[in-house]
A = this chain, B = another copy of it.
Amino acid sequence: MSVKQKHDELAALLQGAGVRPTRQRLALAAWLFDGHDKHVTAEQVHDAALKMRAHVSLATVYNTLNNFTTAGLLRQVVIDGGQIYFDTNTGDHYHIFDEEGGYLTDIPAASVPIARLPKLPQGKSLSRIDVVLRVRTSS
């Protein structure tokens, strides 16, 4: 695929989500949506942008990650206090968290079948289920 084709595809992705395809957003989207699922912090995205010699400020990285999240292109995952992971996989899935390595892996929702749920509080409905399997090196 040509460089121009890739650019146009990304621009279409952003426009389809109601996000203007600026130079900075396209540069970050090119890295985020390269076909490999990622769980990344703002700082990791910023570092990646620097390595690509794309000049994107840290403030713009935060703005962009938040925009993409609102637009449904990313979702947030919170594991530890202290930092937010942005997840390029927006499908229905759960996570394995390696407590020693500090990294996340996706697992399909169907791999953790939940037979039934408790009664929810009066007038409330389910917005999302988060499941995290925390793992460590076997003793």
Contacts and interface: CB of A to CB of B under 8 A. Distances in A.
B124 A137 contact: yes
Contacts of A80: 78
Interface stretch (A13-21, A58-66, A111-119): A111-119
Interface residues of A, number: 41
A117 to B, nearest CB: 6
Interface in A77-128: 78-84, 96, 98-99, 105, 107-108, 111-118, 120-121, 123-128
Contacts of A30: none
Given A83-B81, A130-B131, A138 B125 contact: yes
Contact of A78 (B76, B81, B99, B116): B81
Contacts of A128: 134
Contacts of A125: 135-139
A23 B135 CA distance: 37
A138 B123 contact: yes
